[in-house]
């Protein structure tokens, strides 16, 4: 199990300590918890039967490097599971919120705006298919 995020290292280490405390998560008592980055996995080739990315790959930078690392550590025939966020349900109120909030967001000077997270290709099936397709050889 690898815990990886974009939060400051202090928070990531705090989470690892919290999860690793006796009784905090009994199901993880024997888990190997490591702080790391998906762009640079510290595992050997073909080390895992399965890799899971739950609400994470869509927020990561250098997604090509993430995909390369996942392919490297996943054994041939292994399972990759990716869960990404979907668009809000119709009439959920989110579209109304955005229509009201966008004019205010637009007033924030560009240097003070929050940068976009992740790679847009990871937010749609076709983009994920393109990223995860086997490399085309140049024979």
Q: Is residue 20 part of a domain?
A: no
Query: In angstroms, rounded to a whole number, what is the distance separating the alpha carbons of residues 38 and 71?
Result: 11
Question: DSSP character for 83?
Answer: E
Q: Is residue 10 part of a domain?
A: no
> CATH number, domain at 121?
3.40.50.150
Q: Is residue 105 part of a domain?
A: yes
Q: Is residue 21 part of a domain?
A: no
Segments forming the whole domain that contains residue 124: 26-132
Q: Is residue 13 part of a domain?
A: no
Q: What is the pLDDT of residue 68?
A: 95
List the beta strands (DSSP E) in 1-139: 2-3, 34-35, 48-54, 74-83
Q: What is the pLDDT of residue 3?
A: 41
The structure tokens 């290292």 sit at: 9
Total tally of structural domains belonging to the chain: 1
Q: What is the mean pLDDT of each run of 10 residues along the chain (139 residues)?
A: 41 52 68 84 94 90 94 95 82 85 91 83 89 76
Q: What is the pLDDT of residue 38?
A: 93
Q: What is the pLDDT of residue 19?
A: 56
Q: What is the pLDDT of residue 118?
A: 85
Q: Is residue 1 part of a domain?
A: no
Q: What is the pLDDT of residue 139?
A: 55
Q: Is residue 107 part of a domain?
A: yes
Q: Is residue 75 part of a domain?
A: yes
């Amino acid at each position: 199990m690898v815990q990886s995020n974009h939060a400051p290292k202090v928070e990531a280490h705090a989470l690892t300590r919290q999860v690793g405390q006796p009784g905090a998560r009994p199901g993880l008592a024997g888990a190997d918890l490591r702080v790391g980055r998906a762009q640079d996995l510290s595992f050997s080739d073909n080390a895992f039967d399965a890799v899971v990315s739950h609400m994470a790959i869509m927020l990561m930078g250098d997604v090509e490097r993430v995909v390369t690392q996942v392919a490297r550590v996943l054994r041939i025939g292994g399972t990759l599971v990716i869960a990404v966020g979907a668009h809000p349900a119709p009439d959920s109120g989110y579209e109304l919120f955005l229509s009201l909030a966008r004019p205010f967001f637009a007033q924030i000077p560009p240097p003070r705006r929050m940068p976009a997270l992740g790679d847009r290709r990871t937010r749609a099936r076709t983009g994920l298919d393109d990223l995860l397709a086997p490399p085309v050889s140049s024979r």
